[in-house]
């Protein structure tokens, strides 16, 4: 199966605890997150999260994802698909890595598989990367405040 991987990272001048708190407070996403406009559900392993994404292009996308990893203040990972796995599937991770001089490196990474990512590879890569970068910048601002 053809895969497409997109990632974006940034340094955030905040503690791992602050970044984790903002990242896992799903109810507040609409207040600060320009990419994931809403999310609701549980971030515990096995939990389900209902996500609404608005990529920079502006075409909204809604999907349900299952939490496959939740390591407090370190990582959160979910897997989701649109309609059926063969159409479009994503494995999305958020990583929080403490830096020696304080703050953290925050990284989002998603591996896309399925027919739509294969057909629209360039568009998805560009839109996802821009969305990740916008979210990372907004998360940095929110966690530092």
d(CA 2, CA 19): 33
Which residues form the domain of 22? 3-144
The structure's pTM equals 0.93
Q: Based on the structure, what is the number of domains in the chain?
A: 1
What are the pLDDT digits (tens) for 53-64? 988 887 888 999
DSSP line for 6-57 = EEEEEEESS-HHHHHHHHH-GGGHHHH-SSEEEEEE--STT-EEEEEE--TT
- Each of the 145 residues of the chain gets a pLDDT tens digit; together they read 568 999 999 999 999 999 999 999 999 999 999 999 999 999 999 999 999 998 888 788 899 999 999 999 999 999 999 888 999 999 999 999 999 999 999 999 999 999 999 999 999 999 999 999 999 999 999 999 8
What is the rounded distance in angstroms from the CA atom of residue 45 to the CA atom of residue 58?
30
Terminal Cα distance for the chain, rounded: 42
In CATH, what number is assigned to the domain containing residue 19? 3.30.530.20
């Amino acid at each position: 199966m053809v895969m497409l991987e997109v990632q974006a990272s940034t340094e955030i001048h905040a503690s791992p605890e602050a970044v984790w708190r903002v990242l896992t407070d799903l109810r507040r996403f609409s207040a600060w997150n320009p990419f994931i406009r809403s999310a609701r559900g549980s971030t515990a392993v096995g939990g389900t999260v209902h996500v609404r994404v608005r990529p920079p292009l502006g075409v909204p996308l809604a999907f349900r994802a299952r939490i496959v990893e939740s390591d407090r203040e370190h990582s959160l990972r979910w897997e989701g698909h649109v309609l059926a796995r063969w159409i479009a599937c994503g494995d999305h991770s958020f990583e929080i890595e403490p830096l020696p001089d304080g703050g953290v490196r925050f990284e989002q990474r998603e591996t896309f598989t399925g027919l739509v990512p294969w057909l629209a590879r360039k568009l998805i890569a560009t839109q996802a990367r821009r969305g990740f970068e916008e979210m990372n910048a907004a998360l940095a601002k929110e966690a530092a405040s």
